[in-house]
Structure 1
């Protein structure tokens, strides 16, 4: 039997994967945001949050939004069907009162709560939700790429939406707390202004007069929002800057009262009177992707499992975490995060640092003298490049770092030009991690659409097992197979650091997507 989403074993975590700079962001909440559930925020709070974030793709068109830090903006303007519980990370109903899968997982029935309204004062209807989902499914963009299993959505009455799937998609419910779960007004979907000034359904509206696109966004709290007390800030000013030093200086000058900082900046941020620097739970993973496991390119080395294992043995993960990342990281051998349930502690240190063993594996694979491989270089990889070059070079794998434009960091690996890539990925739910990593729809996580009979068989079992208790064992088997076959070379799970001024709280408990709920008012 399918269990209530609030009790689902597979939990949802932060998605900050698209950051173009090395500023890992995680999230939290000042309390449970649901009304009547002991929220620690106050409905009478008139405080202002001044937040600095790096730039990311931003559009308010609900079909084109992406899971980046821009969610601080669009996630405040649009209502979401679900949210992530700040204590457990479980996906939890929000605008949706509840949802239920059919036994085969091909139908999901969503019931809306009462009192939902748009910023123009009109009521939110199930037909608005269905129209938003259908438009996203039929509009080319990021959401369409993750909605591949959705066939259509329909409103069966004013409060009930039924989503029809081509096949059971275990990751889809987790997306209800992200961009796939936003609610737009059906009549506004074709408006030419929807990308810049939509009719929102969330707790805030965009102050277009005070906003400077690409530089500063000003959000004003809606007094008529159904659970206004869950959001303590009356005004939110979001400043966009791609300069970590500028962000820190703005924080020190009191111009912003919340910003992410690097490990190198932590001491300076702590020195600000009344400031607090909070280390989040692991929010980002750095891992080396093998992009030619089929061996189709002119450099087919990574087709051989022994070469992939050699790369794993060549990495001094403990040293990278402690020395390079100053302890704000955790070494890992697997792509599932420890805060999620598929993670298996028995798989850690399978590839303990062993350069001698790496050399033997390379020799056995036919590369006693090693080989040279090109790898893209970007702002996010710079700090790792000397260490990776030294460690892999020591066993015979020489890295040639090739600078690429920052605008191409997400797309360059889709070209097939490179066979190795250092990727930065944010925490996601276990089902979503599996879908990205083990299916042809993996995009920039599995650009070559790699699979094999074992992966296909295990993932087929996952997509036909709606009961999450039963599917957990299958996910763990898939995880073990990935580690044994060295399908990637995870390096570290990295924590984020948030600096907040006196009176502003940031408490990471589970790791959440970028969301205004991360911030609260002290003592409320």
Structure 2
């Protein structure tokens, strides 16, 4: 059975997954892989801009960890290129009010030979929801109970069926071999049941995969192997693709012309990813809403989008892009560039001469240049933002997990069918991206009501939430990002990855 999502933004707003669905094929850990069972193609070599923090799906901390994780791990359900929920380990399911019953596929096994049965699914959901170190807890908050019996898993939940299925299709629903739960090197030697398993892992360098010989769906293994190389320099990635060292890579907007001139295929799409300065409200001067608002007025979003990002980013102050059902039109003109107003707010907050804070930034050219543009805007209103570049996983660990940073220049992803995950992770207490535990009581009430409401009420509630979020100035959103990928002519069906599909199974090589 399939359940439709919400049109083209069901895909676009799954961009954290989709944006590098190709790269998911090229993640990995250590292990002994079987002889390839792929029926066609060659090894897909992908150069990407970040390395995962972990390959344990329930403990991931960066947006792109899932990109490396999904080829290794089946979930109960998956997402098709047309944006529909479809069977995976669950062959079928029924929903009766707030109870979903999944019939588990027979004969599936994990890479270590452990049977993938109903009890294994139950144990995984329990781990994801209750393990002390789990970062997947917010993704599965709608689940209230799980039980397994007679080849079926029954999940009781709040909210909509679409919310539940979307959550189960991603890393919160990824299935790890129960025998590997306490495996010391699970973070780099993953043990799943997916179409590919890891054969090599070199930290901050590359990860490799081969097809899993025991996989039940051979049509999902269109590649003989997957190799992902971490290459931080933009020109190095593009030159590697042009020379034949790589088959595909993520490129910057200013590189599109050169890539086309080199005869490469260009794939582009507007995502639900938002470039953003994330603010820790418990540090520096950020407890005062007026200071956070001042930073928002100090940013010339249109100039950044047009001049720095070459019209590849739509200015915004909210997570959901234009066209998404949760987008609030009244915010399209919010926080227009106004340095005088920023200075006035700073004076009202008791810092007329400004202040200084330190922002972590991914040591990648795109994010560093974005940070420098923000820096210029803040300097103009008397605020000094010092930059501390470091790897993405280190910066997110310091900001999100440890709460030891003032701010982080990063990006967030709007959830596909429902922005509830964005609300939970960004605007509620204990949210991963809310280390200062900034809370607005009315947002908490609206989020709670939306968890049990129908779509029309959800829309009304979430639009109210984003207006409250904008007024509270939790962070400094900048723009909805467009992504560009370049591939050689050996890569097949790449365009399907840009419509919402969540792993590598649609990609082939000639």
TM-score under structure 1 length normalisation: 0.79
The aligned counterpart of 2:259 is 269
Kept after mapping to 1: 8 A contact 2:90/2:104: yes
Q: Report SS of the residue matched to 1:219.
A: strand
Q: Identify the residue that residue 395 of structure 2 maps to in structure 1.
A: 409
Cα displacement string for residues 335-377 of structure 1 (whole angstroms, at most 9, x for unaligned residues): 223363201233212222233444444455555x441231314
Q: Note if contact 2:319-2:413 (Cα within 8 Å) is conserved in structure 1.
A: no
Q: How does 1:329-408 map to 2 (within 5 A)?
A: 329-338=313-322, 340-363=324-347, 369-378=352-361, 379=363, 381-394=367-380, 396-403=381-388, 405-406=390-391, 408=394
Question: 1:94 is matched with which residue?
Answer: 88
Residues 444-463 of structure 1: matches in 2 within 5 Å? 445-463=433-451
Question: Does the residue aligned with 1:233 lie in a helix, a strand or coil?
Answer: coil
Partner secondary structure for residue 56 of structure 1 = coil
Within a 5 Å distance, the mapping from 1:131-146 to structure 2 comes to: 131-139=123-131, 140-144=133-137, 146=139
Q: What is the SS of the residue equivalent to 2:318?
A: coil
Q: Deviations over 1:76-105 (max 9, x none)?
A: 1221222233334x54443223445564x4
Give a deviation string over 1:138-196, Cα, whole Å, max 9, x none. 432323464466565321221x112356x669955422122122223344545567555
- Closer/same/farther in 2, CA of residues 264 and 162 from structure 1, 3 Å limit: same
Counterparts in 2 of 1:144 and 1:216: CA distance versus 1, 3 Å: same
Note the 1:492-507 alignment, pairs <5 A: 492-505=479-492, 506-507=494-495
Contact 2:205 2:230 in 1 (8 A): yes
Alpha-carbon contact 2:270-2:480 (below 8 Å) kept = no
Shift of 1:213: 6.1
Distance in 1 of aligned mates of 2:14 and 2:129: 23
Q: Is the 8 A contact 1:312 1:489 kept in 2?
A: yes
Matches of 2:350 and 2:113 in 1, distance apart?
A: 70
Matched, 1:442 2:428: no
Counterpart Cα distance in 2 of 1:290 and 1:51:
33
Displacement of 1:56: 2.3
1:488 equivalenced with 2:488 (yes/no): no
Q: Does the Cα contact within 8 Å between 2:138 and 2:425 map onto a contact in 1?
A: no
Distance change >3 Å, CA 320–CA 134, structure 1 → 2: same
Change (3 A) 1:288 1:222: closer
Question: How many Å apart are 1:454 and its aligned residue?
Answer: 1.4
Greater Cα shift, 188-197 or 78-87: 188-197
5 Å matches for 1:281-360? 281-292=270-281, 299=285, 303-305=288-290, 307-338=291-322, 340-360=324-344
Query: Hey, what does 1:14 align to over in structure 2?
Result: 14
Q: Aligned-residue CA RMSD in angstroms?
A: 3.6
1:155 — aligned with what? Answer: 148
The yes-or-no answer on 1:240 pairing with 2:230 is: yes
Q: Does 1:257 align with 2:241?
A: no
- Cα contact 1:26–1:512 (8 A) shared by 2: no
SS at match of 1:460: helix
> What is the CA-CA distance between 1:133 and the residue it aligns to?
1.9
Q: Is the 8 A contact 1:28 1:517 kept in 2?
A: no
SS across alignment from 1:423: strand
* Matching residue within 248, 253, 267 for 1:278: 267
Structure 1 residue 476 corresponds to structure 2 residue 502 = no
User: Which stretches in structure 2 are left out of the alignment for 5+ residues?
Assistant: 24-37
Residues 100 and 365 of structure 1: CA distance in aligned 2, closer, same or farther (over 3 Å): farther
1:185 equivalenced with 2:170 (yes/no): no
Q: Flag the structure with higher helix content.
A: 2
SS of the equivalent of 1:79 reads coil
In the alignment, which residue of structure 2 is the partner of 1:21?
Answer: none
User: Structure 1 residues 428, 398: CA separation in 2 closer, same or farther (over 3 Å shift)?
Assistant: same
Cα–Cα, structure 1 residues 129 and 248, in superposed 2: closer, same or farther, change >3 Å?
same
Is the 1:14–1:27 contact (alpha carbons within 8 Å) kept by the matching residues of 2? no
Matched position secondary structure for 1:441 = coil
Structure 1 partner of 2:34: none
5+ residue gaps in structure 1? 18-23, 30-42
Asked if structure 1 preserves the Cα contact closer than 8 Å seen for 2:208 and 2:228, the reply is yes
Choose from 178, 184, 196 the match for 1:204: 196
Distance of 1:446 and 1:309 partners within structure 2: 17
Compute the displacement of 1:479 (Å): 1.6
